[in-house]
Amino acid sequence: MPVKKTYRKISIRIVLIYVIISFLWILLSDVMLFRFFPKSMFISMLKGVIFICLSALLLLYLMKQSWSVQADLIAKEYVDDLTGLQNRSSLQHILAKIIHNKERFHLLFIDFDRFKMINDLYGHDIGDIVLKKVSDTLRGNSHIKFSDTISRWIADEFIVILKNKSDQEVDLFVSSLLTETSAPIHISDKEIVNHISIGSVHYPEDTIKSPELVRFAEIAAEEAKKNGGSAHVRYRKELSEKANRVLYLEERLKHSLENQELFLNFQPLIATNNHQIIGVETLIRWDHDGQIISPKEFIPVAEKSGLIIQIGDYVLRETCKSIPLIEDTLKKDLCFSVNVSARQFYQKDYIARTKQIMHDTKINPSKIVLEITESIIMEYADFVIESLHELREFGFQIAIDDFGTGYSSFKYLELLPVNIIKIDQSFTQSIDKVRTKAIVQSIISLAHNLNMKILAEGVESLFQVASLKEMDCHFLQGYYFSKPLTLDILLEQYK
Ligand code: C2E
Ligand code: CA
Ligand code: CA
């Protein structure tokens, strides 16, 4: 403990000085003063007063100095340099203290939804400014009282402790914070979109152990992120089980590439007018110890751990490698749709690496459709529009996947160099409803007006096929025609 050590050193010095002065004074008074004024009470009293005053002043001065040094050291040790909030060790001390006092409190874990992306896109200096702005927002929130604690836990994670508040009061705090932090941040000429997710836990209801409180709140924050973020999730026991599964998958996924456990399935894309195959979408599969794990489960894990970068490269490379065989066997000129996750797309070298794969495999990029979701586009529209133009110029085709599920992108559609819009399967599956049918019809008309192709996903019934044909949807994809197939079965069925 450096603070304690320094304080001890200074205190010992003070005491030593005090002892030396006292000695000198006694020596002086006995030898000198007493000789000249042997019986003077007044002088004796004066001597005492002067002695006390001087030594008190000196002590006061020295103590003050020691305290200011100590305060500086304490500040350094317990305050976060960047934001000026309490830091991790301070929070741990406070937690230990309030748990010891058995005070009731809520602990909230606040995590940026895509901070890594802000750093990747704009650099760390801008990332730091964003962190400071969010800390100021936290500090300025009117629901936080003097007795509450705001701390920066690590990197882009903050922890707030709210004492003696009801669940409703916590909800009020959370919704005000989500609103305040959802406004874009302007730094020089840049508009930075930034969202946070919050997980909360209650002491002593959820656990009484300090490390578990933080871990549980973190797990709840991760859950909040899963459905697009900008949300709050209250911890419940099942979340721990889920989190353990994620940890397990993350660990195993690391070895999946080298163990060749990943492989591709191909789902045919069908022309509505003649039901002929015009292309395939490649969908990844993970054979883990003989059990096929769905990409819905492991892709988010891969995104979180960063493994999606390697996995994404693998998918594109494998797709390219399989193209000559598929086209030769099926005797058709096809297009090959590949899913691109947000985490891949925002990597600085994404375009360079993607071009390199095309170069290595000698496949014409016009054969590849890169499928990106609406959420990728909306968050950083300027950057995305620029990147998409570069990819288009190189020759790739671009599709918007799961259209209609994200934020409305109508505003950007005309600016985006997009070839294909893929209507999300949730619309296809309720196309029998009047309102859904009207929405699907307007998406299809929009695509026609913008000179884009339109594909409906999740087509499972003849009724859906007929409805989509009537609405002039160009392409269809779904179980009605075919489930995703292994390469062998695809070649066998469509040769
Ligand atoms: P997605 O891109 O929307 O892919 C379509 C999903 O719908 C696939 O699920 C497909 O099997 C399923 N599907 C197709 N037709 C029907 C249908 O008629 N009915 C129903 N109920 N489902 C249908 P899958 O293969 O489980 O993939 C799920 C998601 O995982 C994909 O959704 C995509 O977001 C992601 N994904 C799959 N492969 C990759 C990949 O290589 N890279 C990335 N980044 N994501 C991938
Ligand atoms: Ca897709
Ligand atoms: Ca889709």
Query: How far, in Å, from the CA of 434 to the mean position of ligand 2?
Result: 26
Please say if the pLDDT value at position 279 is more than 50.
Answer: yes
Query: How far, in Å, from the CA of 371 to the mean position of ligand 2?
Result: 6
Tokens of 94: 């406070």
Ligand 1 atom closest to Cα of residue 422: 3
Query: How far, in Å, from the CA of 403 to the mean position of ligand 3?
Result: 8
Q: What is the mean pLDDT of residues 34-56?
A: 69
- Is the distance from CB of 250 to CB of 222 less than 8 angstroms? no
pLDDT digits (tens, 9 = 90+) for 196-213: 999 999 999 999 999 999
If pLDDT is split at 50, 70 and 90, which confidence band does 11 have? low
Please say if the pLDDT value at position 66 is more than 90.
Answer: no
Query: How far, in Å, from the CA of 346 to the mean position of ligand 1?
Result: 21
What is the C-alpha separation between 435 and 432, in angstroms, rounded? 9
| Closest-approaching ligand to the CA atom of 422 | 3
pLDDT of amino acid 156: 95
Q: What is the mean pLDDT of residues 437-461?
A: 96
Ligand 1 atom closest to Cα of residue 480: 18
Q: Give, as one character, the DSSP assignment of residue 32.
A: I
pLDDT digits (tens, 9 = 90+) for 297-322: 999 999 989 999 999 999 999 999 99
pLDDT of amino acid 190: 86
Please say if the pLDDT value at position 412 is more than 80.
Answer: no
Give percent of the chain above pLDDT 70: 91
pLDDT of amino acid 474: 98
Q: What is the mean pLDDT of residues 18-33?
A: 70
- Is the distance from CB of 395 to CB of 365 less than 8 angstroms? yes
Query: How far, in Å, from the CA of 210 to the mean position of ligand 3?
Result: 42
- Is the distance from CB of 285 to CB of 295 less than 8 angstroms? yes
Give percent of the chain above pLDDT 90: 71
Ligand 1 atom closest to Cα of residue 294: 26
Domain boundaries, the chain: 2-76, 88-236, 255-494
What is the C-alpha separation between 47 and 442, in angstroms, rounded? 100
pTM listed for this prediction = 0.77
pLDDT of amino acid 121: 84
pLDDT digits (tens, 9 = 90+) for 136-159: 999 999 999 999 999 999 999 999
CA 98 vs. chain centroid, Å, equals 29
What is the C-alpha separation between 148 and 170, in angstroms, rounded? 12
Ligand 1 atom closest to Cα of residue 299: 45
Q: Which of 270, 283, 405 to mutate to test the pocket of ligand 1 (most atoms within 8 A of CB)?
A: 283
Give the residue, by CA position, lying nearest to ligand 1 atom 25: 283
What is the C-alpha separation between 351 and 140, in angstroms, rounded? 41
CA R_g for the chain: 33
DSSP H or E segment with residue 234: strand 232-234
**Facing residues of 161 across strands?**
107, 149
Question: For 255-494, which CATH class?
Answer: alpha beta
Query: How far, in Å, from the CA of 400 to the mean position of ligand 2?
Result: 8
Query: How far, in Å, from the CA of 283 to the mean position of ligand 1?
Result: 6
Lowest mean pLDDT segment, chosen from 35-44, 139-148, 456-465, 476-485:
35-44
Q: What is the mean pLDDT of residues 88-102?
A: 94
If pLDDT is split at 50, 70 and 90, which confidence band does 3 have? very low
What is the C-alpha separation between 421 and 337, in angstroms, rounded? 12
Please say if the pLDDT value at position 33 is more than 70.
Answer: no
What is the C-alpha separation between 288 and 120, in angstroms, rounded? 32
Share the mean pLDDT of the chain: 90
Give the residue, by CA position, lying nearest to ligand 1 atom 46: 339
| Closest-approaching ligand to the CA atom of 371 | 2
Give the residue, by CA position, lying nearest to ligand 1 atom 19: 458
pLDDT of amino acid 13: 75
Please say if the pLDDT value at position 369 is more than 90.
Answer: yes
Q: Which residue has the higher pLDDT, 413 or 273?
A: 273
CATH 3.30.70.270 corresponds to the domain 88-236? yes
Please say if the pLDDT value at position 8 is more than 70.
Answer: no
pLDDT of amino acid 1: 40
pLDDT digits (tens, 9 = 90+) for 326-358: 999 999 999 999 999 988 988 889 999 999 999
| Closest-approaching ligand to the CA atom of 267 | 1
Residue 110, classified by CB atoms within 10 Å of its CB into exposed (0-12), middle (13-18) or buried (19+), is: buried
Please say if the pLDDT value at position 2 is more than 50.
Answer: no
If pLDDT is split at 50, 70 and 90, which confidence band does 435 have? very high
Pocket around ligand 1: residues whose beta carbon is below 6 Å from it?
Answer: 267, 283-284, 294-296, 299, 315, 339, 341, 401-402, 425, 458-460, 477-479, 484
**Facing residues of 400 across strands?**
372, 421
pLDDT digits (tens, 9 = 90+) for 152-179: 999 999 999 999 999 999 999 999 999 9
pLDDT of amino acid 54: 80
If pLDDT is split at 50, 70 and 90, which confidence band does 227 have? confident
Residues 6+ apart with CB under 8 A from 138: 85, 110, 144, 150, 158, 160, 177
Q: Which of 339, 345, 464, 476 to mutate to test the pocket of ligand 1 (most atoms within 8 A of CB)?
A: 339
Give the residue, by CA position, lying nearest to ligand 1 atom 35: 295
pLDDT digits (tens, 9 = 90+) for 67-94: 766 666 666 788 999 999 999 999 999 9
What are the respective helix, strand and coil percentages of the chain, to the nearest 5? 55, 20, 25
| Closest-approaching ligand to the CA atom of 295 | 1
